[in-house]
Amino acid sequence: MSKHTAKKNSGLILTVLFFICYPAGVYRTWKYNLRPLWIRWAYTISGLPLFILIYSFFGIIIFASFLPELDRSIGIRSDRTIINSTDHYSVTFLKTSKETNGSYEEVKVELDPGGGNEWHYHTAFVEKFHVIQGDLTIGMQGKPVLLKTGNDTIAPKGMMHKFYNTSPNPVTFLVKIEPARSFEKTIRSAYGLMNTGQSSPDGIPKNPWHLFLILGYSDSYLQGVPGFIQEPLISALSKIAQWKGVDKDLDPFCK
């Protein structure tokens, strides 16, 4: 079992234990008239918001379990190159999921100086980076790795990473995604929102439901929220977004 999986499972176990034990604890606290009184009130009031959050968390996940799986399909597109106007780079699809029967996807990225993305990780695929020309910095678990022309590196499943260009010159590199996991739909949807003013200056969709869909399509997750919370929640919320019909907003970019 990987460290990521073990941490995720232990966090989920603690969450379930609190969910089960809190009501029993409140009952016993008041039944046996524990003193002083302020202890009873402190325990009851301090734990209530967390209990409500956990109750809502499981409610969302259970509700979403009855919904259809995400539609990860993409239409036949003639445009192979798309522009990210926010993060200063372009992506050209060299091999799509359809062309490799889902085995992999490969893109060429041209990244301007100062461009890049934010910390994130994937649970469904690995990313293989190969620099064609220039200098590319890859953040791996909080540490920078400088790749020069001809260099390679891999971002395994579950590893927090990012890429950016700190050099004064553009950098061109390849990214291979194995196996293909709706990467094209994710990228086209995200860039489409950015290029039509539907994302904030830092590239985050203004509509949270759009964000849930984009993350859900490729099983991608952001920094700052524990995986045992974020992963099942994003999966559930993306299915709810589709159930609400919000995915139709993204059709112009990927159908």
* pLDDT tens readout for residues 170-226: 999 999 999 998 899 999 999 999 999 999 888 889 999 999 999 999 999 999 898
Nearest to 50 by CA among 74, 79, 21: 21
pLDDT > 60? residue 122? yes
Q: How confident is the model at residue 108 (pLDDT cuts 50, 70, 90)?
A: very high
Mapping DSSP to helix (H, G, I), strand (E, B) and coil, where does residue 18 land? helix
Burial category of 179 from C-beta neighbours within 10 Å (exposed 0-12, middle 13-18, buried 19 and up):
middle
| Percent above pLDDT 70 for the chain | 87
For the domain with range 81-248, which CATH number is right: 3.30.450.20, 2.60.120.10, 3.90.1150.10, 3.40.50.1370?
A: 2.60.120.10
Bigger pLDDT: 15 or 225?
A: 225
* pLDDT tens readout for residues 65-80: 999 999 999 888 889 9
pLDDT on residue 7: 59
Show the DSSP H helices in 143-218 as ranges: 183-195, 208-218
Mapping DSSP to helix (H, G, I), strand (E, B) and coil, where does residue 73 land? coil
Q: Where are the domains of the chain?
A: 3-64, 81-248
The answer to whether the predicted template modeling score (pTM) of the entire model surpasses 0.85 is no
Cα of first residue to Cα of last residue in the chain, in angstroms, is 39
How many angstroms separate the CA atoms of 181 and 242, rounded?
18
